Each structure stands twice: as C-alpha cells, then as structure tokens.
Structure 1
Amino acid sequence: MKALLLLGALLLSTPSYAAQLVLDLGTGSRIWKTEELLKHPQVQTIQITDDVSYKRDMSYRAVPLAALLTGIKADDHLQAVALDGFAAELAAAPLLDTVGAQAWLAIEDPANPWPALAEGKPGAGPFYLVWTHPQAGHISPEQWPFQVASIKRLAAVGVRFPALLPDPALAANDPVNLGYALFQKNCLACHRLNGAGDAQFGPDLNIPFNPTEYFGAEFLKRYIRDPQSLRQWPQAKMPGFSTAVLSDEELTLLVGYLKHMAGRKQTP
C-alpha cells in the first residue's frame, strides 16, 4: 500500500507536457511540445515590463520566435491562432528582427503555471507571443496573442480576403489604404468585415451595419480609445487603444477606412 501511495504521489508531482504548438510554415508542419521548447538551445529567462495581457511586469522562459521560423522571409505573412479563436495577422519582418523590438515565444512550464489573466479567467498559456522593447517597433497589443495553438504561413490578407480591400482605384498612399493597413494590424485579430477574416472573436464590422453608420465619428473614436466609457458590461473583452498604440492621426485613418467600407458592403 505504501508503494502504491508513493507511486501516486510521484505521478501527481510529475509535470504534464501535453501542450503542443503547431508550426505550418509552408514547408511541412512541425509540432513543438512544451517539454521540447523548454529544452530548446536558445531558451532563456526574459523580463517583460508592463506586460500587455497581465498589466504588470512578468518573467518568462522563452525562445526567440525567429529561431522557430525556419525558412520564413521578411516579406512573408504569418497568422497566430489562439485557442479562443483570436487570429493575429502578423507581418514576418518584425518577428524576425533581433534588434529593437524582438518577438519571443513564452512557454508555460506545467510545474510553474502562470497566473490567471483575471478572476475567473485562464492564464495566457500554454504559449504566448511576447515582445521585448515593443515601443521600438510600434507593436500593437493585437500582436501579443496568448493561448497560441498554431502559427501558419499564409498569403497576404488582401489575397485571402478580397472583400476587405478598398476601392482599387485609390492610390497606394491614399488615407483609406493607410487605414486598411491599420485595420489589419489592430482589428482583424478579433473582427471580420464583409464576412471576411478568420477571427471568431468579435462581431463583423460591416454586416449588417458598419459602426460609422450608428456612431458619430467622435463617439466612435472615443469608443475605440476606451470601450467601457460608452458601454459598460462585466464581460467586455475589447481593449482600449491608447495614443501610444494608435495615434490620433492613425485613429482618424482607421475610422476613414471603416467609413469607406460602409459603401462597399458584400454579403458573406
């Protein structure tokens, strides 16, 4: 009986390494297990100041994401998909940088789990894309996906989802196209538009109605800055976008894109 009790205690104290991260980078799929990543030759402890998700300083065991992105080039496009349906669209170039803002894959050790993100919510594990010196690369909170399940190499957003594209007659540097780029970076991880996008998180921003059709421009900007300042409810998930993340000029460009797309509705 004592031997059985000892065996049970050992099993309970042994960490579980069941979590897996799928990398599909266009040259075949690679599955990384938690145990493998924690033993990666480049794994190290990093300090994150004012972590986007935890709202405080955090310490992680992490691998430089560039070390895992075999064969990826700067002009490639990646998508990180989370367990809850959050789908972050990511240009590859910032992920490959090793100077300035640097991307890391933080790995949750089952023997030392991360805290809950908030009361009644899970933690950010098992895998979390975090950044050191994010201000150097103007990194958006939407570029910090947590609970990451897979990272895929995909065609550019406009190729996959032409329903998101502004009028093709517009010049590349037209304010609407600049707003479209900001939409991809800050909104597409949670929202679809015209039914286009991979996110399963927030409502469509054009069907049946575009927010510019029921919000005045200034109220819409205020809502994007601080959603709870206009609508308060306990289960709200949309974060506010501060001027450090989205300048006043950029916010105007983003709203301009949305207003433009209200005239380009397509039925999903």
Structure 2
Amino acid sequence: MKQIIVLVALILALPAGAAQLIVELEHTRKSWQTDELLKHPSAQTVHIESDVSYKRDMTYRAVPLADLLPGITAQNHLQAIALDGFAAELAAAPLLEKHGSRAWLAVEDPAHPWPALGNSQHSAGPFYLVWTNPQAGQISPEQWPFQISAIKQMKTVSERFPALLPDPTLAPNDPVNRGFALFQKNCLACHRLNGAGDALVGPDLNIPYSPTEYFHSDFLKRYIRDPQSLRHWPQAKMPAFAASVLPDTDLELLVGYLKHMAGRKQP
C-alpha cells in the first residue's frame, strides 16, 4: 500500500500532459521528464523550415540531441522508438554533427501543445526529432521520428538482422550493398524484410512477395517518389521521397537491393 501511495504522489506531482523520455545507452540509462528538457541548459528555440510532419514552417523548444547522448561516438548505432511502433534506425554520426544538418530533440510544452497531425487527434509530441538544414546531409523523412518514447543504443542492423543481408560474396562497395545502406536509412523504420526488423507500421517488403515482383520497376519508383499518386487513401502514412533526399541514383540502388533480396527470401 505504501508503494502505491508513493507512486500516486509522484504522478500527481507531474505537470498535466508531462511525458517521459528514456535514453538507454550502453553504459548509462536516463529518464528525462518534459520539464527537465524544457529547462535543459542547451535548450533553445529553433525554427524549422518546411517541417516534414507538419508540411509548414514550425518553431520548437529543443535540445541538441548530441547533448543527450553521452559517450556515443560516430561509429555507434541508435534506435528511436515511437508510441505507434515506428522504429527509426539512426546511425550516430549525423546525430552528433554540429555543422551542416543538425539533429534536435523538440520538446512539447504541455502549456503550449503543438497542432494535431493531419486528421489525427495527436500532435508530433511529446518528443520529436527535427533537423536544421536537413538538405546538407540529405536527411530522409524517416529520420524525423515523432511521438518518441525512447532512444536506445543498439547493435548495427547487420548484426541484429542477418536475414536482411545481401549475398556475402558481394564486394562492400557493390551497388546492392549500397542499396542496403539506403534501405536501412529510408525504409526500415516502417517496414520489415524477410520478417526481420523492429518496425510495426508497414508491410514486409519481401514476404510473401517483393514489390519488385508485382510493380513494374518504373511504377515502383513512382510509388516511392509519391505513394499517393498511385494508391490514394486518406489513412496512408508512407511519405513521399523527393529527389532532394533520395536522388535518382540512390533510388536505383534501393530498387536494386529489393530486386536482389527477392531472390533471398527466408521463411
């Protein structure tokens, strides 16, 4: 009974609408409350042009994400986990940059909530990874996870999910391996492949069939560029991938990886 009373007291002590972010790294684990982040010494107001989620300019109170990742190096790998099952795979190197594209954790102030997203009743909060000058680093829409609940240090995708790997006899710089890197950056946050991955949003891209098996290649590229141009429905979640974030050469490499994996199905 005493433990329950203490827990209730802690909940009542939190401001209405406050949230908690878990940052779980190899050697440390930290729980951040909304008010702690809003008062963080590095917190500042940032202006985001053409915000990926809101499709317009936005202003946030935000903390440089690198300041919340003690001990992380450019060689490490992280995952941002959202409340809806979206699991963004994030190479650490871009998150640590202080020039060019810069990553920020936007924090929703319960006293000044953000607008709802589309027809949803929910905003992008309580925590949202946003970028200033995203064009400099060709930051993908999948690198803007919103409604984040946790950020965790993980082993690399290749180590965790061998079912995603191309033929091991291919050279490291083979176009298929380069396409695999693009798949991790742009697709794995929403999709699994061969049943491998942590995402719970979109369908598997190889089981039972790869999209390269039922889409003519040109239509598949058009679909990736603008999903709503081929399959339009209000509840669709897949974003468009403009040439500014996924150039034509990269799109070719990505489709090449999917074609290659169509021949490497695993039960």
Alignment TM-score, normalising by the size of structure 2: 0.93
| 1:19 Cα deviation from its structure 2 partner | 0.4
The residue aligned with 1:265 is 265
Amino acid at match of 1:184: Q
Counterparts of 1:236-251 in structure 2, within 5 Å, are 236-251=236-251
Counterparts of 1:108-187 in structure 2, within 5 Å, are 108-187=108-187
Question: In the alignment, is residue 42 of structure 1 matched against residue 55 of structure 2?
Answer: no
Amino acid at match of 2:99: V
> Matched residue of 1:42: which SS?
coil
Counterparts of 1:1-268 in structure 2, within 5 Å, are 15-16=15-16, 18-267=18-267
| 1:230 Cα deviation from its structure 2 partner | 1.2
Distance between the aligned counterparts of 2:120 and 2:45, measured in 1? 28
> Matched residue of 1:192: which SS?
coil
Alignment TM-score, normalising by the size of structure 1: 0.93
Distance between the aligned counterparts of 1:89 and 1:31, measured in 2? 21
Distance between the aligned counterparts of 1:245 and 1:136, measured in 2? 10
Worse-matched range after superposition: 231-240 or 127-136: 231-240
| 1:120 Cα deviation from its structure 2 partner | 3.2
Distance between the aligned counterparts of 1:237 and 1:120, measured in 2? 12
Amino acid at match of 1:125: G
Distance between the aligned counterparts of 1:72 and 1:33, measured in 2? 21
Distance between the aligned counterparts of 1:120 and 1:198, measured in 2? 24
Distance between the aligned counterparts of 1:123 and 1:72, measured in 2? 29
Distance between the aligned counterparts of 2:199 and 2:124, measured in 1? 18
Distance between the aligned counterparts of 1:22 and 1:171, measured in 2? 38
Structure 2 gaps, min length 5: 1-13
| Residues 211, 220 of structure 2: 8 Å contact kept | yes
Worse-matched range after superposition: 14-23 or 225-234: 14-23
CA deviations on 1:210-229 (whole Å, 9 max, x unpaired) are 10110110010011111111
Larger-gyration structure (1/2): 1
Distance between the aligned counterparts of 2:101 and 2:123, measured in 1? 24
Distance between the aligned counterparts of 1:86 and 1:67, measured in 2? 23
Distance between the aligned counterparts of 1:121 and 1:141, measured in 2? 21
| Residues 17, 33 of structure 1: 8 Å contact kept | no
CA deviations on 1:101-133 (whole Å, 9 max, x unpaired) are 110000000000000111234110000000011
| Residues 164, 194 of structure 2: 8 Å contact kept | yes
| 1:28 Cα deviation from its structure 2 partner | 2.8
Structure 1 gaps, min length 5: 1-13
| Residues 18, 110 of structure 2: 8 Å contact kept | no
> Matched residue of 2:115: which SS?
coil
Distance between the aligned counterparts of 2:233 and 2:121, measured in 1? 16
